[in-house]
Amino acid sequence: MNFGYLIVVNENNKHNYSRLAYALALSIKNTQKPGYDQVALVIDDPEYIKDYNSTWVFDHVITWNNKKGWDGRSYMDQLSPFDHTVCLDADMLFLRDYSHWIDYFIENSELYIANKSYTYRGEEVTNNYYRKCFTANELPNLYSFYTFFVKNSPLAKEFFDLQREIINNPVEFSNSFLTKYKPKVVGTDEAFALAAKILDITDEVAYKLEFPRVVHFKGMIQNWPYAADVASDHVGFYFDRNAKLKIGNYQQHDIVHYVEKDKITLETINTLEEIAWKKK
Amino acid sequence: MKKGILIFAHNNRQIDYARMSLVTGSLAKKNLGVPVSLATDPSTVEWMRESNIFDKASEIFDHIIIVNRPQENNNRKFFDGKENFVAPFNNGNRSSVWEITPYEHTLLIDSDYFVLSDNLSKYWQVDADLLIGSGYNDIVGESRTGYLDRYISDTGVKMLWATTVMFKKTQSTKIFFELVQHIKDNYRHFADVYRFNPLMFRNDIAFSVARHIMYGFEQDAEYSLPPIFSVTDKDMLYDVDANKFTFLITPTMNDQYCITTVKDKDVHIMNKQSISRNFDKLMELV
């Protein structure tokens, strides 16, 4: 089996994405079983990671700067060095071993895309505040933050080719297919959902499954009785010395998509590094 | 395993919980087919003797367990339809239930919870040490269910309803009830941590937090008792007739009332005064 996680980052001045990817890679090394903990980083300039203490957590570093911004994830199928890949958003943390689900995906899927997210309290997100385009245009509720695919799968190829077309021609596709609510930007999530809908493969690539469980830590979808822009203004984000994470009163065990980039501090990195070194 | 029901009743000058528990105890015994005991305090027993209900209570209850009256300054506003009054809310000794219950498998119910079906009987067989009412089910529906009926606070944990609690006498439930007591003793601290309103002690909150902690600070995915079908104290029990309860309810919590009936369904009636007004008819049921 040749399996690994793929993280695609494009550095910019606002957020230190390579540091987020580094934290995620450390958390993968710290929690996943050997054989299920390979990580490939796709980055526009490897200079950004050269000063990190443990760059060995990136089993592959791929330099790629053909496309700027988040569009890089649209090329995940072409960039991955693995036969079986899960592509992740950089601003996520792994908090326990999910390896058994990789066996499931390899056995049963050519392409699987996350189609649910959860609040920090473990409730499925039903609020469409950030997804009005999806509900208005009846798009499948896909999230690109966790995407499993098999290299050279015809289904995956057809899907990724179409979503690239959408990303590269957002106005044309918006005008034709997203007429009821046009998004400001056709992002990867919208492109994934529209591609799945056009190809009519939603039932194949996003069927009901208890995994991945990803906590989507955006303010407006936490089932609070008030509007909340920044989620951590309302509940604490407690990352302890054992790399265990509590949000508010809730211990987190699922994958956490923390969204707020400043949650990964130097202290967070040091904690993750210490555990990784001990494990090594 | 010896099983039975336990009800706490501590009277105050406004509300005769002991008299109410005669009805709820009898109904629970009749519909669930297990013995019922009463936990009460010396002054309430004295009042039961004075008001000539002690003999009746001795017939209904398997045991009348005398405990100390909870010493606390816990007042709350009670409604009786449109009227309201403030009265003591002496409910701070529920955590002692593990110690005082005469049963190995106990169903603890509030004295205003009317068991009109055998629904709860099914739960004796559940393979769980502790079951708590999983939520609030208002007679009108979702429109009258507030956020703080579902969660203990804006950002805190899911609210469980300690109106019904079933437990086996095990080491883990002993720890659970000790933890409930600890939360009660340090209520302001836990209010800070869990962001709930500390002004009035609520068993529902203490039980919810204890369950959350015992479950590893996660959403409880274990079995639970059914949501508590409830009629608020702004509604009124209007009439009782052959197991059919007739209520005047205010769907939008204003001055408009409409009539509805409940039959063969367990019901939590929060308007104590209206229970009291219908006491004789309720006793006819049993």
- pLDDT value for B286: 80
Q: Could you write out the DSSP letters of every residue in B167-221?
A: EE--HHHHHHHHHHHHHHHTHHHHHHHHT---SS--HHHHHHHHHHHHTTSS---
- pLDDT value for A10: 86
Query: Is B219 in Cβ contact with A122 (below 8 Å)?
Result: yes
pLDDT averages per 10-residue partition of chain A, 280 residues: 93 82 98 97 92 96 78 90 97 97 97 98 95 97 98 96 95 96 94 98 97 97 96 97 97 97 96 93
Asked whether the predicted pLDDT for residue B262 surpasses 60, the reply is yes
Chain A neighbors of B217, CB-CB under 8 A: 246, 249-251
- pLDDT value for B72: 72
Distance in Å, alpha carbon of B193 to nearest chain A alpha carbon? 8
- pLDDT value for A15: 75
The pLDDT tens digits of the residues spanning A6-57 come to 999 988 767 789 999 999 999 999 999 999 999 999 999 999 999 999 999 9
From A122, A226, A235, residue closest to B218, measured CB to CB: A122
- pLDDT value for B58: 97
Angle between helices A17-31 and A266-279 (to 10 degrees): 30
Chain B neighbors of A121, CB-CB under 8 A: 157-158, 219
Query: How large a percentage of chain B has pLDDT more than 70?
Result: 100
Residue identified by tokens 């943390």 is: A93
The pLDDT tens digits of the residues spanning B155-183 come to 999 999 999 999 999 999 999 999 999 99
Helical H segments across chain B, by residue range: 17-32, 42-50, 54-60, 97-100, 147-150, 171-185, 187-194, 203-214, 272-277, 279-285
Q: Cβ of B152 under 8 Å from any chain A Cβ? A: no
- pLDDT value for A192: 98
Q: Which fold has domain B3-285?
A: Spore Coat Polysaccharide Biosynthesis Protein SpsA; Chain A (3.90.550)
As a whole number, mean pLDDT of residues B249-253 equals 91
Q: Could you write out the DSSP letters of every residue in A62-114?
A: EE--SS-GGGGGGGHHHH--SSEEEEE-SSEE--S--HHHHHHHHHH-SEEEE
Distance in Å, alpha carbon of A39 to nearest chain B alpha carbon? 29
Distance in Å, alpha carbon of A224 to nearest chain B alpha carbon? 6
A-B C-beta contacts closer than 8 Å: 33
Query: Is B155 in Cβ contact with A122 (below 8 Å)?
Result: no
Chain B neighbors of A248, CB-CB under 8 A: 155-156
Query: Is B155 in Cβ contact with A234 (below 8 Å)?
Result: yes
- pLDDT value for A242: 97
Cis peptide before B227 (omega within 30 of 0): no
Q: What are the structural domain ranges in chain B?
A: 3-285
As a whole number, mean pLDDT of residues B137-166 equals 95
What average pLDDT does chain B have?
94
Distance in Å, alpha carbon of B210 to nearest chain A alpha carbon? 12
The pLDDT tens digits of the residues spanning B29-79 come to 999 999 999 999 999 999 999 999 999 999 999 999 999 998 777 788 899
Does the ipTM exceed 0.95? no
- pLDDT value for B88: 85
Domains of chain A, first to last: 3-279 (3.90.550)
Chain B neighbors of A213, CB-CB under 8 A: none
As a whole number, mean pLDDT of residues B213-223 equals 88
Query: Is B193 in Cβ contact with A253 (below 8 Å)?
Result: no
Residues 6+ apart with CB under 8 A from B123: B107, B131, B166, B225
As a whole number, mean pLDDT of residues B272-276 equals 94
Query: Is A123 in Cβ contact with B194 (below 8 Å)?
Result: no
Top-confidence residue, B276 or B1: B276
Distance in Å, alpha carbon of B268 to nearest chain A alpha carbon? 26
Q: Cβ of A251 under 8 Å from any chain B Cβ? A: yes
Distance in Å, alpha carbon of B77 to nearest chain A alpha carbon? 24
Residues 214-233 in B contacting A (C-alpha not used; CB under 8 Å): 216-219
Q: Cβ of A169 under 8 Å from any chain B Cβ? A: no
* B253 pLDDT tier (thresholds 50, 70, 90): confident
Asked whether the predicted pLDDT for residue B85 surpasses 80, the reply is yes
As a whole number, mean pLDDT of residues B118-139 equals 96
